[in-house]
Amino acid sequence: MNTAIDSGYNFAYLDEQTKRMIRRALLKAVAIPGYQVPFGGREMPMPYGWGTGGMQLTASVLGADDTLKVIDQGADDTTNAVSIRAFFERVAGVETTTATAQASVIQTRHRIPEKTLRADQILIFQVPIPEPLRFIEPSEEETRVMHALEEYGVMHVKLYEDIAHHGHIATTYAYPVKVDGRYVMDPSPIPKFDNPKLHMSEALMLFGAGREKRLYAIPPHTRVESLDFEDHPFEIQAWDEPCAICGATDSYLDEVIIDDQGARMFVCSDTDYCNSRSEEKA
């Protein structure tokens, strides 16, 4: 299965010059952890906002001997994950898997797998808005200066206003982090539950924003701290009940409405984690 099935296109769709441009940018990204490197993002045959950034990064790192896993909301079988996985099967002919442990490259939207990632795995995030300061300062010119001068006070003011208003930091996903003590970074819209997995990860983490034409990285073994306050320390979500399917108490749970009366149950958002736990028990 090592040759592209659709011979009209290059291996993994992108032409070699585009891949090289992205690869050079990726090397800069890992050398400057958390800094958003501009890159000449290309149109992909899928809409902007649907993972074109992640796909361009995947296309640039993917090799014939890789095994690819694609998840959306933690699940391998959500429509967009299915669609992206089918795309790479078609244009790169690579092996795909739903098992986190068997994947060498994992493209994800909105989650980090529950199973701890290894040094020989690369996690590629789809990013809608890469700029963590964007909702405070809409101008790119301004936010670039703020990053250059390490002027991140406004971010704390924003989080603080939440506390004053709600008694809590009201950011629950895309929760900003500081990478290696320097850059404030948007971890993509993962729930803050996943933020601790960014810290000192064994696996390389790459982030691609296609429409905004930015990519960035967290190398393995890198300090990643979620922004917080001494009297309001960062904390992650917790549930009162375990997963209704596998009984996990350490995973991120999705709420599922099961009848017209609004009765609900909670199940793992990471489908591979849930399945493998259920199989172990069986």
Partner 1 sequence: MNMTQQTSEAVRPHDWPGLADPVHDSQRLFRQLLGAMSEPGTLTELVLPELPTGAAISPAAWGALLALCDLDTRVWVDQGLARANLAAALAFHTGARLTDDPAQADFALVTPDTLSREDGFALGSDAWPDRSTTLIVMVEALAQGDDWWLSGPGVPGERGLALGNAERALPLMRVLAANRAHFPRGLDAFISSEMRLTAIARSTRLAGPGLAATDDAEHQEETA
Partner 2 sequence: MYVAVKGGEKAIANAHRWMADRRRGARDQRELEVSQVQQQLGLAVDRVMAEASLYDPELAALALKQASGDTVEAVFLLRAYRTTLPRLAETLPVDTGAMRIERRISATFKDVPGGQVLGPTYDYTHRLLDFMLLAGVEVETDTPAPQGAEEGLEACPQILDCLNHEGLIEREEDDGSEPYDITRDPPDFPVDRATRLQMLARGDEGYLLALGYSTQRGYGRNHPFAGEIRQGAVEVEIEVEGFDGPVCVGEIAMSECQMINQFAGSGDTAPQFTRGYGLAFGRNERKTMAMALVDRALRAEELGEPIQSPAQQAEFVLAHADSVEASGFVSHLKLPHYVDFQSELELIRRLRREHAERTAATAEAVSDTQAASARPAPGDGDKADPEKTQAKNVQENVR
Burial class (CB in 10 A: 0-12, 13-18, 19+), 214: buried
Name the binder of 75 from partner 1, partner 2, none, CB < 5-8 A by kind: partner 2
> Is residue 167 annotated as part of the catalytic site, yes or no?
no
Options 28, 156, 211, 232; binder of partner 1; rule CB under 8 A: 28
Residue 51 a catalytic site member: no
Angstrom distance (rounded) from CA 161 to CA 229? 12
> Taking the complex as a whole, how short is the minimal distance between the CB of residue 282 and partner 2, in angstroms?
14
The whole-angstrom separation of Cα 15 and Cα 278 is: 42
Q: Packing angle between helix 79-92 and helix 52-61, nearest 10 degrees?
A: 30
Residue 268 bears catalytic tag: yes
Ranges within 215-254 binding partner 1 (CB under 8 A): 217-223
Q: Which is nearer to partner 2, 52 or 201 (CB)?
A: 52
Q: Kindly state whether residue 204 participates in binding partner 1, applying the rule CB under 8 A.
A: yes
* Beta strand pairing call for 177-179 and 214-218: unpaired
Burial label, 89 (beta-carbon count in 10 A; 0-12, 13-18, 19+)? middle
**Residue placing its CB nearer to partner 1 in the complex, 28 or 115:** 28
The catalytic position among 53, 74, 208, 246 is 246
Selection from 157, 12, 24, 156 nearest residue 94 by Cα: 12
Query: What does the alpha-carbon distance between residue 282 and residue 280 come to, in Å, rounded to a whole number?
Result: 6
Interface with partner 1 in residues 86-125 (CB under 8 A): none
Q: Which is nearer to partner 1, 25 or 71 (CB)?
A: 25
Task: Determine if 144 is a binding residue for partner 1 (CB under 8 A).
Answer: yes
Tokens of 127: 């990013």
Residue 140 binds to partner 1 (criterion: CB under 8 A):
no
Q: Can you tell me which residue has the tokens 């400057």?
A: 32
34 is catalytic: yes
Residue 10 within binding range of partner 1, rule CB under 8 A: yes
Catalytic (active site) residue 63: no
Q: Residue 237: name its binding partner from partner 1, partner 2, none (Cβ under 5 to 8 Å by kind).
A: partner 2
274 vs 151, 237, 266, 282, CA distance in Å?
42, 18, 12, 12
The residue ranges that bind partner 1 (CB under 8 A) are: 10-11, 16-17, 19-21, 23-33, 35, 37-38, 60-64, 144-145, 147-149, 180-183, 200, 204, 217-223
Q: Which positions are catalytic?
A: 34, 243, 246, 268, 274
